């Protein structure tokens, strides 16, 4: 028998509920697999078997009873303060019960480890972290995506079947895309955020699930939302596509895979594809960057920037200092752009149900040189990726990334769908419809590392 | 480049006014960030947003009122 760890999240939960797999056995298997595979991935930065076993011993009969999961290093746990992937966090932190922790605990889940992340959440690649970079299970010389790098690499490497990430500018969707997973960025405010050091001020960051497929994301999402996310068949889906840099300035393979997926989704739902105009995307991207950077400096005093930990990366040190110089007028202008884009989206969602474009313009770049070659030239992956992600964070709408193919180098390609506020369920429905349309080919594809040396249960 | 040129004056002056110290590496990183973002910030400030007033107490979990 192959390991129960190779089952998806809901299958693990069902196997435990049916008595086919013992929860202690599953936790032990997860911890063993972390020991076995994590040296190649650096996905999990800390395990705490005693604490995990205590959680399991106290686990209620919830929907995830006994299922091991990983939580990004972005929330405190009762026995561990978050480090945010960095040598120093300017905000005060302490071990505590965070919203995601409580949601997981109350659902009966077991936190098996803490997932690595891009330093200070400030990158889409995951190649910089106080713990060293996490690595992509599809090619360990490649970026796993960020900033939820460890959660994604943990699930793609089948260390666990579900992980909790956070998304402030695409940080769930990029790693989901690079690692061939499904990742949901919920509607702002809908998922558990308590305990996050930016929770009192952020208007962009949300917690979100990373899993192999949409149904698993629905299960973990329901836990994080604290409510059922019912499934329905999306019929007659009206899919909006934008002819802009976000969909045109992509590699040929990304463009072809996403077009094929959109057509498959249209056919599966008996829907239609409409070309739509969404002016202002460039300004929206910058507005989101400026707002999140200014919010990240909440309570920071200039003198703190003269005492930065020397272990912070040079980019983090310089960027933190630069954030203090952002012009207030640009932040205010960003709020006007936010209002403009929210009104434009509200009008657009009268005409279409979802807006589709590639999650990432190119597959995962190399860790040591995270650049992407696009029709417009060579760009840093961060610069290129954020163009497709920031709108959802700026405006609050939900968004989902799902795998839609593999590149000629065997790296995942991904499509992103966005819907109106509160229609997270529709995105999950659409992602499941696409899985049906393509025979679940991409959500069941395994990276070489996860195919190797299956652990016996 | 507009952003790179203005970095020579803007960044040291801004840091000095706030009492923030910076190493040569810090300044180099900041100049790169400035070169990347400043032209776009200038464009953003120049954007005509007449009639696009910010929402009053926006609820980002819902469509605008």
Rounded percentage of chain A residues whose pLDDT exceeds 90: 96
- Decide if A289 contacts A386 (C-beta within 8 A): yes
Say how many CB pairs under 8 Å bridge A and B. 120
B56 to chain A: closest CA residue: A339
Q: How close is the nearest chain B Cα to the Cα of A190, in Å?
A: 7
For chain A, positions 393-432, list CB contacts with chain B under 8 A.
395-396, 420-422
pLDDT digits (tens, 9 = 90+) for A307-357: 999 999 999 999 999 999 999 999 999 999 999 999 999 999 999 999 999
pLDDT of residue A104 exceeding 60: yes
For residues B10-31, one letter each, b for 16 or more C-beta atoms within 10 angstroms of the residue's C-beta and e for the rest, the string is bbeebbeeeebebeeebbebbb
pLDDT score recorded for residue A1: 45
Phi, psi of A224 (to 5 degrees): -70, -30
CA distance A171 to A116: 12
Query: pLDDT tens, A20-42?
Result: 999 999 999 999 999 999 999 99
This complex has an ipTM of 0.94
Q: Cis link prior to A411 (omega < 30° from 0)?
A: no
The answer to whether A283 contacts B44, with C-beta atoms less than 8 Å apart, is yes
Contacts of A245 in chain B (CB under 8 A): none
Task: Out of B30, B40, B49, name the one closest to residue A321 (CB).
Answer: B30
Q: Do A333 and B54 touch (CB under 8 A)?
A: no
A343/A334 Cα distance (integer angstroms): 14
Question: Is there a contact between A318 and B19 if contact means CB atoms under 8 Å apart?
Answer: no
Per-residue pLDDT at A452: 58
Q: Output the six-digit token pair for A457.
A: 């249960």
- Tell me if chain B has a CB within 8 Å of the CB of A302: yes
pLDDT, chain A, mean: 96
Q: How far apart are CA A155 and CA A208, in angstroms?
A: 14
CA pair distance A265, A147, nearest whole angstrom: 29
Mean pLDDT across A149-153: 98
Q: Give the residue from A163, A194, A164, A165 showing the smallest Cα distance to A98.
A: A194
Rounded CA-CA distance B34/A60 in Å is 52
Q: What pLDDT does B8 receive?
A: 83
Q: Using a CB cutoff of 8 Å and minimum separation of 24, what contacts does A329-335 make?
A: A329/B45, A330/A290, A330/B41, A330/B44, A330/B45, A331/A290, A331/A291, A331/A294, A332/B54, A333/A287, A333/B44, A333/B45, A333/B47, A333/B49, A334/A286, A334/A287, A334/A288, A334/A290, A334/A291, A334/B44, A335/A287, A335/A291, A335/B54
Q: Which residues of chain B have pLDDT under 70?
A: 1-5
Determine the longest span between alpha carbons in chain A, in angstroms.
62
Please state the length of chain B: 65
Cβ-based interface (< 8 Å): residues of B facing A: 10-11, 14-15, 18-22, 25-30, 32-34, 36-37, 40-41, 43-45, 47, 49, 52-55, 58-64
Among candidates A188, A336, A337 on the partner chain, residue whose Cβ is nearest the Cβ of B60: A188
The pLDDT, as a whole number, for residue B5 is 55
pLDDT band at A222 (very low <50, low <70, confident <90, very high): very high
The verdict on A317 touching B (C-beta cutoff 8 Å) is: yes
Residues in chain A: 457
What one-character-per-residue DSSP string does A53-82 give?
HHHHHT--S-TTTT-EEEEETTS-BTTB--
List alpha helices for A132-270, DSSP H. 149-156, 173-179, 214-225, 245-248, 252-269
Average pLDDT rounded to a whole number, residues A95-110: 98
Q: Does A290 touch chain B (CB under 8 A)?
A: yes
Distance from the Cα of B35 to chain A's closest Cα (Å) equals: 12
User: Chain A partners of B62 at a C-beta cutoff of 8 Å?
Assistant: 396, 421-422
Residues of A in contact with B45 (CB under 8 A): 327, 329-330, 333
- State the smallest CA–CA distance between residue A103 and chain B in angstroms: 20
CA B1 from centre of chain: 16
Are A74 and A166 contacting, i.e. CB atoms less than 8 angstroms apart? yes
Q: Compute the C-alpha angle A12/A114/A454, nearest 5°.
A: 45
Which is nearest to A51 in space by CA: A84, A32, A26, A77? Answer: A77
Alpha helices (H) along A73-230: 99-106, 149-156, 173-179, 214-225
Q: Which chain B positions have a beta carbon within 8 Å of A396's beta carbon? A: 60-62
A9 vs A209, A289, A398, CA distance in Å?
Answer: 11, 33, 22
| Residues on chain B touching A340 (C-beta within 8 angstroms) | 49, 52
Residues of B in contact with A384 (CB under 8 A): none
Say if the Cβ atoms of B52 and A339 lie within 8 Å: yes
Q: Do the strands A110-115 and A68-72 form a parallel or antiparallel pair, or are they unpaired?
A: parallel
- Burial of A50-80, coded b for 16+ CB within 10 Å and e otherwise, reads ebbeebbeebeebbbbbbbbbbbbbbbbeeb
- Verify whether the Cβ–Cβ distance B30 to A318 is below 8 Å: yes
Active site residues of A: 72, 147, 171
Q: Report whether A190 contacts A197 (CB < 8 A).
A: no
In terms of phi and psi (left: phi > 0; alpha: psi -120 to 50; beta: otherwise), the region of A165 is beta
pTM score: 0.97
d(CA A439, CA A433) in angstroms, rounded, equals 10
- Give A457's pLDDT tier (boundaries 50, 70, 90): very low
3 state DSSP class of A313: coil
Range list of β-strands (E), A119-251: 162-167, 182-185, 206-211, 238-242
Looking at residue A455, its pLDDT comes to 43
What is the C-alpha separation between A233 and A246, in angstroms, rounded?
Answer: 28
- pLDDT for A91 beyond 60: yes
């Amino acid at each position: 028998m192959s390991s129960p760890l190779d089952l998806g999240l809901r299958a693990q939960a069902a196997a435990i509920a049916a008595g086919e797999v013992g929860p202690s056995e599953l936790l032990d298997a997860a911890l063993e697999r972390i020991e076995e595979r994590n040296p190649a991935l650096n996905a999990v930065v800390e395990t705490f078997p005693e604490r995990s076993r205590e959680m399991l011993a106290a686990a209620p009969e919830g929907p995830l009873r006994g299922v091991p999961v990983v939580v990004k290093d972005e929330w405190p746990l009762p026995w561990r303060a978050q480090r945010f992937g960095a040598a120093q966090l300017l905000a005060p932190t302490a071990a505590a019960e965070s919203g995601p922790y409580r949601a997981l605990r109350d659902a009966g889940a077991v936190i098996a480890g803490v997932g690595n992340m891009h330093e200070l959440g400030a990158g889409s690649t995951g190649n910089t972290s106080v713990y060293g970079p996490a690595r992509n299970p599809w090619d360990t010389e490649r970026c796993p995506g960020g900033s939820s790098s460890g959660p994604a690499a943990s699930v793609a490497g089948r260390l666990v079947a579900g992980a909790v990430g956070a998304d402030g500018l695409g940080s769930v969707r990029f790693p989901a895309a690079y690692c061939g997973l499904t990742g949901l960025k919920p509607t702002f405010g809908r998922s558990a955020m308590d305990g996050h050091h930016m929770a009192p001020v952020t208007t962009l960051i949300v917690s979100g699930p990373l899993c192999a497929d949409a149904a698993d994301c629905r299960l973990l999402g329901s836990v994080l939302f604290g409510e059922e996310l019912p499934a329905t068949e999306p019929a007659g889906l009206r899919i909006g596509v934008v002819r802009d840099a976000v969909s045109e300035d992509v590699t040929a393979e990304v463009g072809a895979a996403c077009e094929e997926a959109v057509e498959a989704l249209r056919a599966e739902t008996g829907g239609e594809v409409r070309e739509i105009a969404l002016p202002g995307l460039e300004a929206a991207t910058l507005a989101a960057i400026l707002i999140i950077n200014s919010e990240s400096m909440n309570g920071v005093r200039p003198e703190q920037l003269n005492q930065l930990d020397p272990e912070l990366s040079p980019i983090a040190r310089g960027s933190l200092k630069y954030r203090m110089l952002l012009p207030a007028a640009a932040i205010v202008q960003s709020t006007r752009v936010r209002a403009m884009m929210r009104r434009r989206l509200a009008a657009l969602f009268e005409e279409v149900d979802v807006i589709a474009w590639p999650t990432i313009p190119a597959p995962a770049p190399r860790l040591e040189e995270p650049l992407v070659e696009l029709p417009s030239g060579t760009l840093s992956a961060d610069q290129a990726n954020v163009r497709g992600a920031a709108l959802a964070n700026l405006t609050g709408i939900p968004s989902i990334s799902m795998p839609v193919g593999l590149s000629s180098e065997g790296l995942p390609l991904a499509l992103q769908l966005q819907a109106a506020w509160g229609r997270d369920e529709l995105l999950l429905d659409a992602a499941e419809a696409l899985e049906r349309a393509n025979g679940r080919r991409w959500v069941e594809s395994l990276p070489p590392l996860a195919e190797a040396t299956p652990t016996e249960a | 480049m507009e952003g790179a040129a203005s970095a020579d004056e803007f960044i040291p002056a801004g840091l000095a006014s706030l009492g923030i110290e910076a190493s040569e590496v810090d300044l180099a990183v900041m100049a790169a960030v400035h070169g990347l973002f400043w032209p776009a910030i200038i464009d953003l400030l120049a954007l005509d947003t007449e009639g696009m007033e910010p929402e009053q107490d926006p609820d980002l979990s819902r469509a605008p009122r």
